[in-house]
Amino acid sequence: MTTTLEKPARRQEVPAARKLTAGAFSPRQLLTSLPDALRKLNPRHQLANPVMFVVWVGSVLVTVLTLLEPNGFSIAVALWLWFTVLFANLAEAVAEGRGRAQAESLRRTKTEAVARRLADDGTEEDVPGNALRVGDRVVVEAGQVIPGDGDVIEGIATVDESAITGESAPVIRESGGDRSAVTAGTTVLSDRIVVRITTKPGETFVDRMIALVEGAQRQKTPNEIALTILLSTLTIIFVLAVLALQPMAGYSGGLLSVVVLTALLVCLIPTTIGALLSAIGIAGMDRLVQRNVLAKSGRAVEAAGDVNTLLLDKTGTITYGNRQATELIPVGEVTKGELAAVARLSSLADETPEGVSIVTYCAENFGLPGEAQAEELAADAVAFTAQTRMSGIDIGGRQIRKGAASAVRQWTSGPVPSEVDTVVDEISAQGGTPLVVAECSGGTTRVLGVVRLSDVVKPGMKERFAELRAMGIRTVMVTGDNPLTAKAIAAEAGVDDFLAEAKPEDKMELIRREQEGGRLVAMTGDGTNDAPALAQADVGVAMNTGTAAAKEAGNMVDLDSDPTKLIEIVEIGKQMLITRGALTTFSIANDLAKYFAILPAMFVAIHPQLDALNIMRLATPTSAILSAVVFNALIIVALIPLALRGVRYRPMSAASLLRRNLLVYGLGGIATPFAGIWLIDLLVRFVPGIG
């Protein structure tokens, strides 16, 4: 079939929707979240956090004592204890507020559409989108909104998914295969499709996303539970230690006030990390949403941080997926320049990624035009068909073709140099695709050479895999290619291992073997055949363009459908764990400076020699105690941005990470209170009744 060669039509651009992101932390968020923080003062809410519940009880106790015997010191301590509880609630409220902002942006993307429901006899009826039921078939044409989540069962169309993903480029959705899933609220740009509805009203993908990002039902992760147990244990120990101080003080000839003992307890228990723990977990899910990834639970985010093995699909993840021209091999006396000129002409009418790559390769390496010229635009283009397995152009009395070796051999109807067969066999054995280029001019047909098409590894993949290796993560490439091709790609990409000729059951078996060894496994997938492995993996990232089965099986969904994002997901999970560890180190180190502030102040009247421990030279015992309480409250607010943003992640071993935490957050946790308490004391010493 021949047609006039024309420039391909420009792809229709769609305005980009706003990404799902809460943006950077701003002080304004503290004010807008204050009402929520006040509501969280309810004791039933505080019971969920043992550390802050002790602070809440201490605040109530000191408040009651202050009302009975009011004085400036007791009033100040009571106020700052309540501020401590309030600031802890504020950290959680800010994190949840960011999630609600994302949910609101998602609600704005929802569009109630009128559906054209198909009856069994083929007739159509208009019904509200919320009246659709699972199994209903609806017709959607260009310019119409898809009324519900479903699978395309008839037709092919371009769809604008910018309202969901924020990407302006339209995507192809077609019946059959792994790209049949469509999402409610997206818009069909061209053609006509029939969609079978797969979800009930109110349970669409957008509805589930809204519920997820609001985080109202966020469950604690195993590591978070373990840390809560540790903090609770430390709190109990310090409660017992503080209770033991009163009889010791009485034996020494003086009793301590309950206000002072309460202040000591609040300053010694790990209030900083206790206050920020929930915010860190919520912020981890928030950072995923900022990258257009939705986790179905906080457990999935944390599991990503503990992943030991990554299973990555080769096509589209490690490689571009579309085979590209990587070499021109002339035969006989033909030069590379001659072969390039003819190969370019044969590909001008070929709009497949392979054909475009040949034109690009010739333009970049041989200085040929990257677009069809005037004379070439008027030529007769020969489009590729499944019957001919060739494409080409008829121009100026010349017939130029490129295609499969067997098809070109049949077209030439003459002898083909044996060198061509050798090159074709060699490229095929190495996992590449050979395309033979031939020309017929003046009744003479000759084969000029072979174009090698290869699945090209994406740039930077080897470096990223090296980073993962430094983190102790093993990477496995999964592909349906033959072992020879898989081995070559694996070596070029730098993965640790590969699984060739992989079937669904092979992926499942590999994941189970890894898990039996005590390792956590993450993988990506988009097809129904990936669903079993996604369900088996500890972190299963389904592509939004994939089938409903894949999205149901995974515990994360990538709205951008970018398989390489699995690496970012692991980094975000590790960042959350690192942030929690860093702030725990900082919180515990904080206590050391508070000892030097409060303990000498408590007992200096009984044992004057303890004044030697007052190395900060704080003005009075009351100013020292109050300064420590004030610092204990303010440091929570100061660390909220760090808890939400997360500690910067760098690939390193566990030993190196521990050393960094001890150096930066351990020493920082010791030094900061010394400076902070001393500066606060300079102010409070002038308050009547304190200094």
Residues flagged as binding site for ATP: 350, 354, 384-391, 402
Separation CA 276–CA 91 (nearest Å)? 6
Q: If you write DSSP's letter for every residue of 321-373 in order, what string do you get?
A: SS-EEEEEEE-TT--HHHHHHHHHHHHTT--SHHHHHHHHHHHHHH---SS--
Separation CA 412–CA 398 (nearest Å)? 13
Classify strands 474-478 and 497-499 as parallel, antiparallel or unpaired.
parallel
Amino acid at 678: W
- Determine contact, residues 319/584, Cβ cutoff 8 Å: no
SS3 (DSSP) at 20: coil
Q: If you write DSSP's letter for every residue of 391-444 in order, what string do you get?
A: EEEEETTEEEEEE-HHHHHHHH-S---HHHHHHHHHHHHTT-EEEEEEEEETTE
Separation CA 31–CA 61 (nearest Å)? 28
496 is catalytic: no
Place of tokens 């069909």: 188
Q: Which of 149, 207, 313, 455 is catalytic?
A: 313
Separation CA 144–CA 158 (nearest Å)? 12
How many residues does the structure list for the chain? Answer: 691
SS3 (DSSP) at 517: coil
Binding residue numbers for Mg(2+): 526, 530
Rg, the chain, Cα only: 34
CA atoms 599, 601, 603, 607: torsion sign:
positive
Q: Which among 305, 320, 321 has a CA at the least distance from the CA of 567?
A: 305
Instruction: Classify residue 319 by its DSSP letter.
Output: B
Separation CA 456–CA 254 (nearest Å)? 80
Binding residue numbers: 350, 354, 384-391, 402, 526, 530
Amino acid at 330: P
Separation CA 411–CA 492 (nearest Å)? 36
- Determine contact, residues 477/314, Cβ cutoff 8 Å: yes
Separation CA 16–CA 166 (nearest Å)? 5
Q: Which among 573, 551, 558, 553 has a CA at the least distance from the CA of 294?
A: 558
- Determine contact, residues 601/625, Cβ cutoff 8 Å: yes
Report the catalytic residues: 313
